[in-house]
């Protein structure tokens, strides 16, 4: 499976990128870093700069048709930048329109709110997004991981880095099932 990891040029929480990336690779998938700009992205450990990672493709050059699933890592700045980029929002929405699974952790659901794809879904996130999700028509729950199978696309969400083990297990299971269907 080809899995897009959508991140802004800076602000992604490093562990929320690297742990799911490794889980996808360990499950035999092919993770690819998609961003709003070419070059490298700057990851963070909370508010401190961490590693940099090379961008494989930009949202200007890809569509949801190029991938089998999408992962939206968190970090506060990352999804805030993404939700202000029309191409990133359209790319995200494309996975739902195509019925492909999407996984988002921490602040990642902000991009989902902007893409108007949470209405009628149950999901979790960092607690500060609760009101945004509810205002966008979603139901927010305080759970380690939530898998919402509302049509047309399955959505996997988690709250924070402490939930990464459960998040990675859920997303690899859902992605594997989708590739068999």
Taking the C-alpha atoms of residue 166 and residue 157, their distance in angstroms, rounded to an integer, is 10
Q: What are the start-end ranges of the E strands in 120-168?
A: 122-123, 139-140, 145-148, 155-158
Q: Are 99 and 71 in contact (CB under 8 A)?
A: no
Q: Catalytic: 107? A: yes
Q: Which of 46, 106, 148, 168 is catalytic?
A: 106
Strand 40-45 and strand 48-54: the pairing is: antiparallel
User: Quick one: tokens of 59?
Assistant: 């949202």
Q: Catalytic: 148? A: no
DSSP annotation of 36: S
Q: Which of 46, 107, 148, 168 is catalytic?
A: 107
Residues that are catalytic: 106-107
């Amino acid at each position: 499976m080809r899995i897009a990891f959508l991140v802004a040029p800076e602000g992604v929480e490093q562990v929320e990128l690297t742990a799911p990336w490794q889980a996808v690779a360990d499950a035999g998938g092919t993770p690819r870093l998609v961003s709003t700009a070419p070059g490298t992205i700057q990851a963070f450990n909370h508010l401190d700069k961490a590693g940099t990672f090379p961008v494989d493709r930009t949202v200007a050059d890809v569509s949801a048709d190029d991938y089998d699933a999408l992962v939206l890592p968190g970090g506060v700045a990352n999804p805030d930048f993404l939700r202000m980029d029309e191409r990133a929002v359209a790319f995200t929405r494309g996975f739902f329109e195509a019925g492909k699974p999407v996984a988002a952790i921490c602040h990642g659901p902000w991009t989902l709110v902007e893409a108007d794809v949470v209405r009628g879904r149950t999901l979790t996130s960092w607690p500060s997004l609760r009101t945004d999700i509810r205002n966008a028509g979603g139901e927010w729950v305080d759970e380690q991981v939530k898998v919402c199978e509302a049509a047309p696309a399955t959505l996997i969400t988690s709250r924070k880095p402490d939930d990464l083990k459960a998040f990675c297990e859920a997303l690899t299971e859902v992605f594997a099932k989708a590739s068999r269907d």
